[in-house]
């Protein structure tokens, strides 16, 4: 007969050692988090604003937005992951346009405040935040121009409140994947001191963020210095590290499902734009989405994941033609 007593006795010291090590790790994590300094050399978001910057309080968070123009239609722009209102500079600063142009920074990005409360970063809060911003600016209906991850929010609003959406313009749309089991970051966020450790870890990500920016350009070595500087600007905002951490945790823990393209009402005009050298969201994926939605597809040659930034003139031409075709462009 096997001697199970000896085996159990042998396992007890190992279990005690493991439990003791785990307790030590937790204690060190808490101590480390308490001693961690906050991010340095950062400024309040209001000190980093543009001449046309404004802030609206939504979800107890000051949302940064920029507005130009006063006439119809209203062009409301949503940026993608890691971007900000800077990515819409060519549309905002095009003084030949009389249409109202509004671009805003989603929580965790740009010059929007980064609260400690994780609620504003939740994917489920994105549409209510957009609606609140529209109410704040007196916008009853808008042409939503959305890039990459911003396309999910634009499509969700079109599905949930179609009367607010005159048309959808989706650039390199990234709708995300169906929710899975909570990932590593979601698990990490539950340990004591994660609220300090997580942001500290985010301070090592700027090189990765820049690598992502380079990969978004059709020719990474040709990325203009002023674009690199513009994308770095929000990393000087106070608590940028906390904001990025909360964004990552919210995405990892979310059970929010991406929108179903065919649920967008068919009477809302849709334009899908892609760059022929996009390695982030392939042109084929954009073409599939356009086909599923019965949308018009436009490919901007010699551009990557940021076609509206690499070739703003061609983007403006395509946009105006689409708006004109559907009777949305003012005289």
Amino acid 220: pLDDT: 96
Tokens of 313: 């003139």
Q: Which helix (H) or strand (E) holds 143?
A: strand 142-147
**Helix count (H) and strand count (E) of the chain?**
12, 8
Question: Are 114 and 239 in contact, with CB atoms under 8 Å apart?
Answer: yes
Separation CA 316–CA 309 (nearest Å): 11
Amino acid 35: pLDDT: 47
Amino acid 100: pLDDT: 97
In sequence order, what DSSP letters do the residues of 167-201 get, joined into one string?
A: EEEEES--------S--HHHHHTTSTTHHHHHHHH
Predicted confidence pLDDT, tens digits, the chain (331 residues):
455 445 444 445 555 554 555 444 444 445 454 445 556 689 999 999 999 999 999 988 999 999 999 999 999 999 999 999 999 999 999 988 989 999 999 999 999 999 999 999 999 999 999 999 999 999 999 999 999 999 999 999 999 999 999 999 999 999 987 666 667 778 888 888 888 889 999 999 999 999 999 999 999 999 999 999 999 999 999 999 999 999 999 988 888 889 999 999 999 999 999 999 999 999 999 999 999 999 999 999 999 999 999 999 999 999 999 999 999 986 5
Question: Are 243 and 267 in contact, with CB atoms under 8 Å apart?
Answer: no
CA distance readout (Å), 329 to 70, 192, 270, 296: 13, 54, 15, 17
In DSSP terms, 230 is beta-bridged to none
Question: Are 151 and 175 in contact, with CB atoms under 8 Å apart?
Answer: yes
Strand 61-68 versus strand 71-78 pairing type: unpaired
Separation CA 239–CA 1 (nearest Å): 63
Amino acid 31: pLDDT: 47
Superfamily of domain 45-325: Alpha/Beta hydrolase fold, catalytic domain (3.40.50.1820)
Amino acid 12: pLDDT: 54
Amino acid 23: pLDDT: 47
């Amino acid at each position: 007969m096997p001697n199970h007593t000896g085996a159990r006795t042998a396992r007890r010291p190992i279990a005690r050692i493991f439990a003791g090590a785990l307790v030590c790790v937790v204690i060190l994590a808490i101590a480390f988090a308490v001693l961690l300094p906050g991010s340095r050399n950062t400024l309040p978001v209001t000190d980093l604003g543009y001449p046309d910057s404004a802030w609206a309080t939504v979800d107890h968070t000051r949302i940064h937005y920029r507005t130009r123009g006063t006439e119809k239609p209203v062009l409301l722009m949503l940026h993608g992951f890691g971007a900000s209102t800077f990515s819409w500079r060519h549309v905002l600063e095009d003084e030949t346009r009389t249409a109202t142009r509004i671009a805003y920074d989603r929580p965790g990005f740009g010059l929007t405040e980064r609260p400690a409360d994780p609620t504003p970063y939740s994917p489920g809060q994105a549409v209510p935040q957009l609606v609140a911003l529209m109410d704040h600016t007196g916008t009853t209906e808008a042409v939503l121009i959305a890039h990459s991850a911003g396309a999910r929010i634009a499509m969700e609003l079109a599905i949930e409140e179609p009367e607010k959406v005159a048309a959808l313009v989706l650039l390199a749309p990234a709708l995300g994947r169906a929710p899975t089991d909570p990932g590593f970051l979601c698990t990490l966020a539950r340990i004591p001191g994660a609220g300090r450790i997580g942001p500290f870890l985010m301070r090592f990500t700027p090189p990765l963020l820049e690598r992502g920016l380079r990969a978004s350009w059709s020719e990474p070595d040709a990325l203009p210095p002023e674009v690199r500087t513009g994308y770095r600007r929000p990393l000087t905002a106070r608590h940028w590290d906390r904001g990025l951490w909360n964004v990552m945790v919210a995405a990892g823990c979310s059970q929010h499902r991406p929108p179903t393209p065919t649920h967008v009402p068919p009477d809302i005009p849709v334009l899908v734009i892609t760059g022929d050298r996009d390695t982030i969201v392939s042109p084929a994926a954009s073409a599939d989405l356009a086909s599923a939605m019965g949308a018009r597809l436009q490919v901007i040659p010699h551009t990557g994941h940021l076609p509206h930034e690499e070739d703003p003139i061609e983007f403006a031409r395509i946009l105006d033609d689409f708006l004109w075709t559907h009777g949305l462009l003012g005289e």
